[in-house]
Homo-oligomer: A and B are copies of this chain.
């Protein structure tokens, strides 16, 4: 079904709060085979709520409205809906009972709610015809069916909204008028080292029909989504498997992982699988590789730490890089990268070492060694290999690409893939 989401609240349109609930809802709806035409955020203004709802009713097969259902004066969703849809506010005894249940003085509470004096009294009045989603749950949430279109009203509080979304909205939509029987399969492919346009060129022949491909640059990597939809489970599975095989073939070693597993988690998993322990020696990445590896819970099993050798003296002191080597080749060179990788393996008594040395900019570059020039090295026992790269972009782009390249080097080595290319 094609749906629309409307999130209500001044805190959203003033940028005070990030709208995580709509994203949560959209992700689950998309995964369940629905399409979201639009997500709108409007302030607590009756006119803006009305405009958003009116337009959604013109084109959506279902609507989800979040927020503005609370008890304070700035919560205006129910009033706006009562006016737009001409459904006068109606007293709901079930909600009234739920409010009083939690009240220490139920009798006083009854009177206060009935007279509209209770601070929560507003919650007991809903637009006529509303069906409570979770009776007795002590949270807002109801359904109105208007001209055959289900409109779900959910609280703006993230955990309440999520609960109602998973427990009520998704199952109700699935069985709505027998459902439209749509089957959806989706996967995200995580790619590093190929530009988005080149990925697009390689995968474009696959697009169309039941196969949908999306390209999402998440600098410095690119995420590719594959979505197959259809009405027959087996056909969808087959089309999905064919498309996935083609994608894997087209992306080769540049495809480093799938779905929610980031590069650092892939590297951590490979290290644990091989029973190896690793350390890093970072110059221009200044701790970014270590920070990413330690972002993964349980990383201490395969990562001991390392040295941020930002100055030449630390390269000598902590990594035992010979002063003569630094003098002869300069800190930014393949021989120094190799000496750093070997040095960190020795200094930390680990098995695999990765080193990075380069010029992140904006200053420090020269004609022969420009900003963006970075050397990498990987040492493992007797094996030691260096790699040269030239990155574009500002300081932070060079540092991010360098950290990612170092992790990718580690991944490719551990997975037995060529260190560059596909």
Contact = CB atoms under 8 A, between A and B. Distances in A.
Contacts of A12: 23, 26, 39
A296 to B, nearest CB: 9
Of A196, A214, A282, the most chain B CB neighbours within 10 A belong to A214
B25 A201 contact: no
Interface string A273-316: 00000001011111111110111011110011111111101100
Nearest to A362: B297
A149 B257 CA distance: 45
A214 B74 CA distance: 7
B225 A298 contact: no
A311 B305 contact: yes
B48 A29 contact: no
Contacts of A120: 197
Given A42-B37, A197-B119, A297-B362, A27 B15 contact: yes
Contacts of A295: 286, 395-396, 399
Interface residues of A, number: 104
A146 to B, nearest CB: 20
Interface in A11-33: 11-20, 22-30
A210 to B, nearest CB: 16
Contacts of A26: 12-15
Contacts of A318: 307, 318, 347-348
Interface in A295-353: 295, 297-300, 303-311, 313-314, 317-318, 347-349
30 contacts: A10-B214, A11-B214, A12-B23, A13-B39, A15-B36, A15-B216, A16-B27, A17-B216, A19-B19, A37-B48, A38-B40, A38-B48, A38-B51, A38-B52, A40-B41, A51-B59, A74-B213, A157-B217, A159-B219, A282-B290, A283-B305, A286-B294, A286-B299, A287-B287, A295-B396, A297-B363, A300-B311, A303-B310, A317-B348, A318-B348
Interface of A: 9-20, 22-30, 35-43, 48, 51-52, 55, 59, 70-74, 102, 119-120, 157, 159, 188, 195-198, 200-201, 204, 207, 213-217, 219, 223, 225, 280, 282-291, 293-295, 297-300, 303-311, 313-314, 317-318, 347-349, 360-363, 392, 395-396, 399
